[in-house]
Structures are given as structure tokens and as C-alpha cells.
Chain A
Amino acid sequence: MKMDHNFCDPAVLSRFLDKELGPDEHSRIDKHLKYCPACQKVLRANQCISTFLRAGLEKELSHADVEDFEERVFDRIQRKGVPWWMKLRALFISKKFYVPAAAMATVLILLFSVVRRPAPEPGPSAIINSFKGDVASVMILETRKSHQTILWFNENLMSGDDNGEI
């Protein structure tokens, strides 16, 4: 009895109709159908629906002009074209753009870091090339830490003030 209930399953019958069952199960259902009017009824109904659908679909497809439809779709795509921002976006997300761009940027950044920012030179912050003026005295000093050049001058040439006190 339990076996019969399994055979009467509409899903199993549907798979039987679609020839999706294994050979053993197919032959068991085939035998069962000979003695089960309920299953025979379900199977006939399924066969009717299947035949009707297949016939209808074939009829519609025979009327449809697939080539014309395809042509119209392509024509519409070509006339509308792809917007510029879509092309730009496609270009930017493409490896063909960002891989060479990143490589080029890296090379240029390295080049600039070498050309534009040379290593700090040792020595004074300023080199005095010439000095000319009416001053009583002038001294050139340098700070210890960062070698800042200091130009210290005594402004009052004639007054004799102690103006150069450090």
C-alpha cells in the first residue's frame, strides 16, 4: 500500500511523463499505471496539457519573424548609441586604462621626487656671496642644530653705540 501511495504522487507521474526517471523506477511506474485508474487519469490530463502547450508554442513560433525582430533590436541599439558617460565609465573601470595609468603615475612621481626634491644638502642655510654697506661691523654665524645662517650687523657706523651686543 505504501508503495502504491508513492507511485500515485503527481510529481513522480510528471517526471515519468518527461522521461526523467531512472529505468527501474520508470518500469515500476509503468506497471503501476496498468492497475491504477487514478494515475491513468492524471497522466492523461498531463499529456493533454503538454500536447496543447507544445502545439500552441510551435504555432506561434511559426508565425514569428525572429530575424526581423533581431534586426529591429540591433537597429535600435545602433541608432540610440551608447552614451559618452557609459563609454568613459567602461574605460575607467577597464584594466587597460588603470594599469598603464597607475604605472605611468608611479614613474612620474618617482621621477619628481628625485628631480624636484633632492636630498637636503649639508652646510649652511645661506651662503653669503657678497656684502657691501656702511656698517660698523658684520658677523656671520651659524646655529648648531639646523645650520641656520645669521648675518649680524652693527648699524650705527658713526655713533659708536654698543649696537652689536649678542
Chain B
Amino acid sequence: MMRFKKLNISFLLLILMGVLAGPLWAEHNTKIVVKAVLASQGSEYMDPRLSSLTEELQSVFRYSSYRLLSENRMELAMRETGTVSLPEDRVLKITPLQITGNRVELLLVILKKKKEVFQTVSQLLNHSSIIVGGPKYKDGYLLFNISASF
């Protein structure tokens, strides 16, 4: 009876360890969120969905309006490419390349009318983001907030 109990306890502890330690050897998928934002000098408007982002942007830019145009979420495996459609026939391609420490290396490619505008490789901190901006759109400029977590 005592032997049976000891075996049971060992078995349950193994299950517990497996459940808790499982993520250690699980393959890392990278969760990506891409927010397309229109920044302009028009009437003052701060999109409530961008509250934390606009606070940061205001410390650098002098735009009075920040409007969220679209939000895309994806989960990508290493070397898997995700595509996001952006305004004016632009496309953003994202490919996680590798994880180094607390950063994920991302290949970002922006195309306009199927022609590559640029490509960059950047190492993004876990639970952090990079803002890519510059294209003129309507009465302002486009900003793409790309955040990653793994």
C-alpha cells in the first residue's frame, strides 16, 4: 500500500513537472501585431486604441492626430513569412529569423505595387515594438507599429 502511494506521488510529480516545464522545449512561435496608424496635422484626435503608443510618439513627432487604420495579428514559426496588406497597394512581409537572448530577429520587407521599397533586418526585444513610418497618405503620414512577443 505504501509502495503504491509512493509510485502515485512520483507519477503525479512527473506530470506536474511536464506541464510546467513543457514550454521550455516547445518550439518558439512569434506573435506579431501590426498596427497601421495615420498621423496627421488635422484636428486633434487620439485614437483610444493607441493610448500608450501616441504618448510615445508625441515625444518625437508633432502631429496632432493619430488614427488607427488597421490591426493585424499573426503567429509565425521561424522562417515563416506573414503578409499584411497596407494602404495604397503596399504590403508588409514579416519573417522571424531567429531568437537571440531576449530578442527576435525579424526580416521586414515593404513592397509598393509589388515592387520592393526596402528590406531591413532588426532585432526586436521581446514584448516590444518598432515603428516604421514615412509614406505620405491622405493628409498625413503612415506609421506601422510592429510588435513581437515569443
Shortest A2–chain B CB gap in Å is: 65
Shortest B3–chain A CB gap in Å is: 13
The interface residues of chain A lying within 8 Å CB-to-CB of B12 are: 91, 97, 101
- The answer to whether B13 touches A148 (Cβ under 8 A) is no
Q: Give the residue name and chain of the A residue nearest to B124 (CB).
A: A126
Contact partner of A129 (CB less than 8 A), chosen from B56, B59, B121, is: B121
Interface assignment of A16: CB less than 8 Å from any CB of chain B:
no
Asked if A91 meets B5 with Cβ closer than 8 Å, knowing A100-B13, A108-B20, A153-B134, the reply is yes
Shortest A21–chain B CB gap in Å is: 50
- The answer to whether A151 touches B103 (Cβ under 8 A) is no
The interface residues of chain B lying within 8 Å CB-to-CB of A3 are: none
Inter-chain CA distance A128–B61, complex, in Å, is: 20
State the interface size on chain A (CB cutoff 8 A): 48
Interface secondary structure of A, over-half rule = mixed
Interface assignment of B62: CB less than 8 Å from any CB of chain A:
yes
Interface assignment of B117: CB less than 8 Å from any CB of chain A:
yes
Inter-chain CA distance A73–B60, complex, in Å, is: 85
Asked if A127 meets B103 with Cβ closer than 8 Å, knowing A91-B5, A96-B5, A104-B13, the reply is yes
Asked if A100 meets B9 with Cβ closer than 8 Å, knowing A146-B56, A152-B133, the reply is yes
- The answer to whether A128 touches B16 (Cβ under 8 A) is no
Asked if A130 meets B120 with Cβ closer than 8 Å, knowing A143-B57, A154-B134, A166-B61, the reply is yes
- Residue-by-residue, is B7-20 near A (CB-CB < 8 Å gives 1, otherwise 0)? 01100110011001
The interface residues of chain B lying within 8 Å CB-to-CB of A91 are: 5, 8-9, 12
Inter-chain CA distance A95–B127, complex, in Å, is: 40
- The answer to whether A128 touches B102 (Cβ under 8 A) is no
- The answer to whether A131 touches B118 (Cβ under 8 A) is yes
- Residue-by-residue, is B113-135 near A (CB-CB < 8 Å gives 1, otherwise 0)? 00011111111110011111111
Which residues does B use to contact A, with CB under 8 Å?
Answer: 5, 8-9, 12-13, 16-17, 20-21, 23-24, 55-57, 59-62, 101-103, 105, 110, 112, 116-125, 128-136, 141
Can you report 27 residue pairs joining A to B where beta carbons are below 8 Å apart?
Answer: A96-B5, A100-B9, A101-B13, A101-B16, A109-B20, A112-B23, A116-B23, A120-B125, A125-B129, A126-B122, A126-B125, A126-B128, A127-B103, A127-B123, A129-B122, A134-B116, A141-B60, A143-B56, A143-B60, A144-B59, A145-B55, A148-B130, A151-B122, A151-B131, A152-B134, A153-B118, A153-B134
